[in-house]
């Protein structure tokens, strides 16, 4: 369980998160949606302890950062480290047993190559593998479906469903509604620095309809395509 209480974050004069409170339960999968620049990554960085902030973030397992697997939008890799070395390094950092990465290479990555030479999608899959091998209790997946191929999208969806069954707490941001539909128990809408909507699974279709009305509206007519 992750509990957020009165979380606020500003960059200079720009207030990005305003007094956010939420509870993310054990075994729950939570989608965070919002337009570009709404503050999703900032929220995740605060939870991961990367950004200083006002308010409190507590978790059942402490310190949270030692039990959290954070898949960032653009994972960073040191140069001259192969995929296999990266996976071993991250397992050792958490004092987890280092199994042979090749045995778990479900994304069929070239583990003997330097991670910096990987494509964008391959980097994302390697970073995901690492946080899975760490056996974390909490997962933050910032746009996990972006930039990866269809096969991997199917696999990532199945991985999230398995993590949920194992009782992990998972936060996901995505701009692709269908992927959230398949994986999430609840969706939070982040707007103007606050959660303006919390929608349960039974109402996802309604949310999609509402969002279409608000965001598409009469913009296609306005475009006057010919």
Ligand X SMILES: Nc1ncnc2c1ncn2[C@@H]1O[C@H](COP(=O)(O)OP(=O)(O)OP(=O)(O)O)[C@@H](O)[C@H]1O
Q: Which of 160, 108, 163 is nearest to 135 (CA)?
A: 163
- Around Cβ 23, how many Cβ atoms within 10 Å? 11
Question: Which tokens is 135 given?
Answer: 């056996």
Contact (CB, 8 A) for 187 and 33: yes
Assess 16 for contact with ligand X (CB under 6 A).
yes
Q: Give one word for 109, left, alpha or beta, with left for phi > 0 and alpha for psi -120 to 50.
A: beta
* Binding window for ligand X (CB under 6 A); candidates: 22-30, 38-46, 109-117, 206-214: 38-46
Binding of residue 13 to ligand X (CB under 6 A): no
Cα–Cα distance measured from residue 74 to residue 154, given in angstroms and rounded to the nearest whole number? 20
Q: What is the CA radius of gyration of the chain?
A: 18
Task: Judge contact between 26 and 48, C-beta under 8 A.
Answer: no
Give me the least distance between CB of 39 and ligand X, in Å please. Answer: 4
Q: Using the rule CB under 6 A, is 191 a contact of ligand X?
A: no
Give the nearer residue to ligand X in terms of CB position, either 123 or 164.
123
Maximum Cα interatomic distance, the chain, rounded to a whole number of Å: 61
HSE of 63 in the Cβ direction (CA atoms, 13 Å)? 6
Q: Give CA–CA dist 84/97, Å, rounded.
A: 14
- What CA–CA distance (Å, rounded) separates 24 from 141? 14
Tell me the closest approach of the beta carbon of residue 116 to ligand X, in angstroms: 23
Q: Is the Cβ of residue 32 or residue 133 nearer to ligand X in the bound state?
A: 32
Interface with ligand X (CB under 6 A), residue from 28, 31, 34, 101: 34
Map the footprint of ligand X across residues 99-138, applying CB under 6 A.
Answer: none
Beta carbons of 134 and 91 less than 8 angstroms apart: yes
Compute how many residues bind ligand X; rule: CB under 6 A: 10
The reply to whether 180 sits near ligand X by the rule CB under 6 A is no
Residue 69 or residue 193: which is nearer to ligand X going by CB?
Answer: 193
Among 38, 84, 140, 163, binds ligand X (CB under 6 A): 38
Question: Where does this chain touch ligand X (CB under 6 A) — which range of 37-45, 56-64, 95-103, 118-126?
Answer: 37-45
Sole binder of ligand X in the list 28, 31, 39, 75 (CB under 6 A)? 39
Q: Which stretch binds ligand X (CB under 6 A): 29-37, 61-69, 79-87, 91-99?
A: 29-37
Q: Does 42 bind ligand X (CB under 6 A)?
A: yes
- Selected binder of ligand X within 2, 24, 41, 207 (CB under 6 A): 41
The contact set with ligand X (CB under 6 A) reads: 11, 16, 34, 36-42
């Amino acid at each position: 369980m992750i509990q957020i209480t009165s979380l606020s974050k500003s960059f200079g004069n720009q207030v990005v998160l305003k007094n956010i409170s939420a509870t993310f339960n054990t075994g729950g999968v939570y989608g965070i949606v919002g337009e570009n620049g709404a503050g999703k990554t900032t929220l995740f960085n605060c939870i991961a302890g990367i950004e200083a902030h006002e308010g409190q973030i507590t978790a059942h397992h402490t310190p949270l950062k030692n039990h959290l697997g954070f898949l960032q939008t653009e994972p960073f890799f040191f140069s001259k480290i192969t995929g296999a070395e990266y996976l071993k390094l991250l397992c050792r950092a958490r004092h987890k047993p280092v199994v042979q990465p090749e045995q778990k290479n479900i994304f069929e990555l070239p583990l003997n190559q330097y991670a910096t030479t990987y494509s964008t999608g391959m980097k994302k899959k390697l970073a995901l593998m690492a946080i899975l091998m760490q056996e974390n209790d909490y997962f933050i997946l910032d746009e996990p479906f972006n930039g990866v191929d269809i096969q991997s999208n199917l696999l990532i969806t199945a991985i999230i469903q398995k993590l949920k069954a194992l009782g992990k707490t998972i936060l996901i941001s995505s701009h692709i509604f269908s992927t959230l539909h398949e994986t999430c128990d609840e969706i939070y809408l982040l707007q103007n620095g606050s959660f303006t909507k919390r929608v349960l699974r039974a109402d996802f279709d309604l949310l999609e309809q509402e969002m279409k009305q608000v965001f598409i509206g009469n913009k296609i007519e306005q475009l006057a395509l010919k």
